Structure 1
Amino acid sequence: MTAVVALLFTGLSLRETQRQSEIAERGQMTDRFSRAVDHFGSGDVLIRLGGIQELHSIARDSERDLPAIAAMLSAAVRKLRSFEAPCQYKRIDMETKALLDALATVDAGASVDLSNSCLHLMSVRHARLRCAQLQFSRLNAAILTDADLTGADLSSVHLGAPDQPDTHPVGATLTGARLVSARMGRARLTHALLQKADLSNADLRGADLTGAYLKGAKLRGTNLTGTVLSGADLSDTDLAGAFIKDADFRNASITRESAIRSGAVDTDTYKQTTIC
C-alpha cells in the first residue's frame, strides 16, 4: 500500500510539474510575442526588420501562433505592395523581402494571403506556399524555382486583352515567371497570365488552368496529368516531353493530337492527393 501511494504521489507530482512548466513556457511565448509585435509596429524600419525575424522565430516554435503570425506578415506585404494598375514597383524592397522570406518558410497554408499584391521580381527559391492565396497578384518575372504551391489559388478574372495585362485592373499575372520544378498540383490558375513563363519539369497534376494564357510558355517535361486546360491559349508553347494523360483540352487553342505532335506524351496517371 505504501508503495502504491508513493507511486501515485510521484505521478501526481510529475503531472503538476509538467503543468507548471507548460504554463511558464506559454508565458514566455506570450512575452516573446508581445515584444515582437511591438517591434513589428515600430516606426523605425530596422526595428521592424527585427520584429519580422522575431515573429518568424515564434511561428516556427509555436504551431498555435502560426496562423495569426502568417496573417500579420501577409497583411504587412499587402500594405507595402498595394495593388495598383499598372504596378509601378521596379524591385522588391528590403522589408518586403524579409516578409516574403519569412512567409515562404513557415508553411502556414491558407493563412498566407498575398492576394491583390504587386510582387514583380519576387525571388524566393524552395518557397513553401501550399494553399496560399495569391488571387489577382502580379508576379511577373518572379523566381519561384522548386516552390511548393500545391493547392495555391493564383486565379484571376479576365477583364482585358491577355497580351496587355496592365490594361485591366485585376488579374493574376506570371508573365516571364520562373517556376521550374515547382509543385503546383491542384493549384487554381484560372485565367492566369503565364505568357513566356518557364514551368519546365513542374508538377501541375490536377491543376485548373481554365482560360489561362500560356502563349510562349515552357512546359518541357511538365506533368499535366489530369490538368484542366479548357479554353487555354497554348499557342507557341513548348510541350516537349510534357505528360498529358487525362488532361482536358476542350476549347483550348490546340488539340491533344497537336500537343502530341509537338512532343507531349499521353502517359502517366493522375493520383488524388491530400493537399491542405
Structure 2
Amino acid sequence: MRHFQETKSIIISIFIALIGFFLIGVIPIYQVSQIDATSISILDLAKLENEFRAAMAQIFGGLLLLIGIYLTWRRISAMEQTVEITQKGQITERFTRAIDQLGNDKVEVNTGGIYALERIANESSEDYWPIIEILTSYIRKNSPPEPGMERNELPIDIEAIINVLRRRKNYYENGEPSPINLKQTYLEFADLNFINLKGANLSSANLFGANLFGANLFGANLEFANLEEADLDEVNLNFANLKLANLKLANLEETDLESADLEETDLEGATLFGANILRAKFKSANLKNADFLSTDISIDQLYEAKNLQNIKLDYELIYEIREKHPHLFERL
C-alpha cells in the first residue's frame, strides 16, 4: 500500500511538471511564433515572449495553489475520518465495557456501568436511544423484589437508572422515537420528581409511595398501576390512561388531569384539591372520602362515578346537588 502511494505521488509530480513545462516553456514560444516577425523587432519579440511566459507562470502558480488547497482539504478530510473512526472505536469499546459492568454482581461496579452508559449516551446521539432501551429493560428485569421481601427504598442500581432517566436530555417526540417502557416495574418509594415520562408505558407498575412531584406523564399509560399514597402534586396527566389504577390516599393537589381516563379507578381518600379535571372520565370510579375541593367537578362526572360516600365538595356544588339533583345527593 505504501509503495503504491509513493508511485502515485511520483506520477502526479511528473504530470504537474509536464503541465508547468507546457505552460511556461511551450505556449509562450508558440504564441510568439504566430506573430508576423517582419512587423516587429527581435528585441520586442523576446520581450513579448517573456511577458507571455510571465502570464503562464502566474496561471501555473494559481493552478499549483488550487492543487495545494485541494490536497490540504483531502488531508484534513482524511484526518477527520480517522479521528471519527477512532472515536467510534473508543465509544464501542467503552460501550462493551459498560455492558460488562452492568452484569456484575458487585453493586459499585454495576452502578459504575450505569453511569458510564449515561456518559456515552450524552456523547453519542447514535447510541443514545439503544442505551435508554438497555437501561429501561434492566429496570423491568431487576426491579421486582425477592418473593416475600418488603422494602421502603429502591435498590442502588435501580435508583441510579432512575436518576439517569430524570437527567436525560430528550423525551418522547423530542429526540426519542418511542415512549419509555416501564411496564410492570417495581418503583415503590422512587424519587421521580420532575421526570419526563411523556407517553410512557407504566401499566401495572408498582409506584406505591413514589414521589412524582412536577413530573410529565402526558398521555402515559398507567392502567392497573399502583399509585397508593404516591405524591402526584402538580403532575401533568393530560390524556393519561388511569383505568383501574389504585390511587388510594394519593396526593393529586393541583394535578392536571384534563381529558384523563379514570374509569374504575380507586381514588378513595385521595386529595385532588385544585386539580384540573376538565373532561376527565370517572366512569365507575371509587371517590369515597376523596377531596374534590376547588376542582370544578361537574354534575355529570359525579353521576358516572360509582362511590361518592363522604366525598368532599365545594359548598356551592353541594347546595346545587341538594336542590336540583336529590337522587345524587343521597349518594354523597
**Bin for the TM-score computed over the shorter chain:** 0.7 to 0.9
Q: Secondary structure at the match of 1:64?
A: helix
Q: CA deviation at 1:59?
A: 2.2
Paired position in structure 2 for 1:197: 250
| Comparing 222-231 and 50-59, the one that deviates more | 222-231
Paired position in structure 2 for 1:174: 227
Quick check: 1:136–1:154 contact (8 Å CA) kept in 2? Answer: yes
> Using the alignment, how far apart are the partners of 2:268 and 2:146 within structure 1?
25
| Corresponding position: 1:101 with 2:163 | yes
Q: Which has the higher helix share?
A: 2
Q: Secondary structure at the match of 2:152?
A: coil
| Corresponding position: 1:143 with 2:211 | yes
Q: CA deviation at 1:252?
A: 1.1
Q: 1:185 aligns with which of 235, 238, 242?
A: 238
Q: 1:53 aligns with which of 104, 115, 123?
A: 115
Paired position in structure 2 for 1:77: 139
CA 1:259 to 1:50, structure 2 compared with 1: closer, same or farther past 3 Å? same
Paired position in structure 2 for 1:38: 100
Quick check: 2:179–2:197 contact (8 Å CA) kept in 1? Answer: no
Paired position in structure 1 for 2:180: 112
> Using the alignment, how far apart are the partners of 1:38 and 1:85 within structure 2?
27
Amino acid in the other structure paired with 1:55: L
Deviations along 1:177-198, one digit per CA (max 9) or x if unpaired, are 0011112222211110101100
> Using the alignment, how far apart are the partners of 1:263 and 1:87 within structure 2?
48
Structure whose alpha-carbon radius of gyration is higher: 2
CA 1:77 to 1:197, structure 2 compared with 1: closer, same or farther past 3 Å? same
Q: Percent identity?
A: 27
Paired position in structure 2 for 1:27: 89
Which ranges in structure 1 are unaligned for 5 or more consecutive residues?
157-171, 265-276
Paired position in structure 1 for 2:190: 122
Higher relative contact order (CA 8 A, sep 6+): 1
User: When the two structures are aligned, how many residues end up with a matched partner?
Assistant: 247
Amino acid in the other structure paired with 1:205: E
Tell me how large the CA RMSD over aligned residues is.
3.2
Q: CA deviation at 1:225?
A: 2.0
Paired position in structure 2 for 1:167: none
Q: CA deviation at 1:26?
A: 2.6
| Comparing 98-107 and 80-89, the one that deviates more | 80-89
> Using the alignment, how far apart are the partners of 2:293 and 2:171 within structure 1?
35
| Comparing 186-195 and 58-67, the one that deviates more | 58-67
Quick check: 2:233–2:254 contact (8 Å CA) kept in 1? Answer: yes
Amino acid in the other structure paired with 2:185: S
Paired position in structure 1 for 2:281: 228
Q: CA deviation at 1:51?
A: 0.3
> Using the alignment, how far apart are the partners of 1:33 and 1:262 within structure 2?
61
> Using the alignment, how far apart are the partners of 1:150 and 1:240 within structure 2?
23
Quick check: 1:240–1:263 contact (8 Å CA) kept in 2? Answer: no
Quick check: 1:146–1:180 contact (8 Å CA) kept in 2? Answer: yes
Amino acid in the other structure paired with 2:234: S
Q: CA deviation at 1:46?
A: 1.0
CA 1:155 to 1:142, structure 2 compared with 1: closer, same or farther past 3 Å? same
> Using the alignment, how far apart are the partners of 2:281 and 2:67 within structure 1?
67
TM alignment of 1:200-219, pairs within 5 A? 200-219=253-272
TM alignment of 1:229-248, pairs within 5 A? 229-244=282-297
CA 1:9 to 1:188, structure 2 compared with 1: closer, same or farther past 3 Å? farther
Amino acid in the other structure paired with 2:150: Q
